[in-house]
Amino acid sequence: MSKEKYVIYIAVLTASFGYIFDFDSAVISSSIEILASTFKIDKRMVGILITIVLIGGLVGGLCAGYFSEKIGRKKTIIYSLIGFLIGGFITIFSINIEMFMLGRLVMGLGLGSIFLVGSIYIIEISPIETRGRNGTINQLFMPFGLVVGFWLAYLITNSLTNRFIINNSWRVLFFLETFQGLIIFILFLKIPESPRWLYLKGFKDKARESLKKVLPDERVEKVMEELNITESNEKMPNKRNFQSITKGIKIVLFLVVVSAIFKQFSGINPIIYYAPEIFQETSLVNTSGYFQSVTMGVYEILGSVIVLFLIDKYGRKKLLFYGTLIMTISLGYLAYALFYKERGVYDVYSVYIYNLTYTVAFGTALTVYISEITPNSIRSLGVTLFNVINYIFDITLTQIYPVIDLRSESLPFFIFFIISLLSLFFIPLIPETKGKTLEEIGEYWNKIK
C-alpha cells in the first residue's frame, strides 16, 4: 500500500468514530418506545435516557484532552474504545433500567473521548496537501451512521416477523453497534502514534519513524526541522498563571470559545432534535419522521461531499463564509415565514438548505479549522475546550428551545438568524490555514507579542 493510500486508510478508520457516534444516536432514537415499554419508564425517564449519553460524552471529552497529552493520542483512543465496548455489552445484556443507564453512561464516556481525540489525531498525521480533506472524511461518515442506523432499525421492526427479535430489537441494534466498534478497535491497534505528540514528548526517533509511514522520505526531515523550530519557540501555557500565556495563545483560545458559541447558537441541535415538530410548524406538507431523518442525513452527506472536494482547493474561510451566508438567509426566511404564518413546501426546503450549508460551514469546515488553528502545544486543550462548550450548549439549548417555542414559533429562528448574521462579521477576521503546515500556523501565533 502506498503512503498516500495508507493515509486515506487511516483517515477512513478515524472517520468511523463519527460514524459510530451518529449510528448510536439513530439506535437510541429508534428504540425509545420499546425501551419505555420494556423497562416501564415514564416520559421523564425517557428524557434522562437520551441525555445520559451526552453527559457521558461531556465527561469523556474533558478527560480525553488530559489523557491524550499524557499517554498519547493512540493509547487514549484504544482505551476509550475498550470503555465503549464494555459499555456496549452492559447495555446489550441489561436486565433493568439501572443497568441500562450505566451501560449508556459508559458508552458515552467512550464515544465522547474517541470522537474528540480522533479529530486531533487525523489532523496531526495528515500531509499538508490533504489535511483538510482527511479531516472532512470524519464529518462525511457521520450522516452515514445516522442513515444506516435508522435503516437497520426500520428493517428489524418492519420486515421481520419473529416477535422475540422485534421485542428485543434494541438489543440487536446495540449488538450491531458494539460489534462495529470491536472491528474498529482491532484495526486501530496497528495504526502509528501521532508524530507531533511523539516529538513534543521527546521521542524524536519514534516521531521520525511515524512520519516515514505517511510522508515521502524527502518531506520527513523538513517536517522534523519545523518541529524543532516550533519546539524552541512555543511555550506551554502555565495553568496557574493566566498572565504567563502569550498573547497569540490567548487569541487562539478566544477564537475557540467564540467559534463554539457561534456553532451552537446557529441552532443546529434544536433543529435536528425537534425536526418533526419544526416541519409541522413550517409546512403544510406531511412527511413521516423516518423520511425526514433520512432526508436530513442525505443533505448532511451532500454538504460533507462539497467540503471534501473544495476545502483544500479554496480554503477554510471561503467555505465558512459562503456556507454561513446561505445558512443565515435560510434562517431569516424561516423566521419570517413563521412570524407571518406563511407556510408551504418552500419552508421544508429552507430547513434542508440550512442543514446542508450548516454542514459545509460550522459542521465540517469549522471543525477542521479548530484542529488546525491550535498550536501543537495546546491542541488537546483547544479542541477539548471547543467540544466541551459544544456539549454544554447542546444540552442547554435542547432543553430551552421548547420553552421559547411555546411563547413564539418564530422567536428561536430569529435568535439563530441574528447569531449567524454576527458570525458573518467575525469570519473575515480569522487567519486562513490552507497551504500552511501545523508548525507554520504555530509560528504565526508565536510571533504575536
CATH 3.40.50.200 for domain 243-446, yes or no, is no
Report the range of poorest mean pLDDT among 267-281, 343-357, 366-380.
Answer: 267-281
Contact present, 401 and 265 (Cβ < 8 Å):
no
User: Rounded to whole angstroms, how far apart are CA atoms 382 and 384?
Assistant: 5
- Whether 26 shows a pLDDT value over 90: the answer reads no
Task: Give the mean model confidence (pLDDT) for residues 2-30.
Answer: 87
Between 230 and 189, whose confidence is greater? Answer: 189
Per-domain boundaries in the chain: 3-191, 243-446
CA distance 78 to 100: 23
Average pLDDT over residues 267-291: 58
Helix H or strand E encompassing 111: helix 97-125
Q: What is the mean pLDDT of residues 46-63?
A: 82
Distance CA 320, CA 318 (A): 5
Query: What distance in Å separates the CA atoms of residue 80 and residue 187, rounded to the nearest whole number?
Result: 14
* Residue pLDDT, tens place only, 355-393: 899 999 998 899 889 988 988 878 888 888 888 888 788
What confidence tier does 244 reach under pLDDT thresholds 50, 70, 90? low
pLDDT at 403 over 70: no
> Locate cell 471561503: which residue?
318
In this predicted structure, what is the pLDDT of residue 106?
Answer: 95
Task: Residue 205: count other Cβ atoms within 10 Å of its Cβ.
Answer: 10
pLDDT band at 410 (very low <50, low <70, confident <90, very high): confident
Of the chain, the percentage scoring pLDDT greater than 70 comes to 85
Q: What is the mean pLDDT of residues 125-152?
A: 83
Comparing 3-191 with 243-446, is the CATH topology the same? yes
Average of pLDDT values for 74-103? 94
pLDDT value at 238 more than 70: no
Q: What architecture is the 3-191 domain classified under in CATH?
A: Up-down Bundle (1.20)
Q: How far apart are the first and last CA of the chain?
A: 45
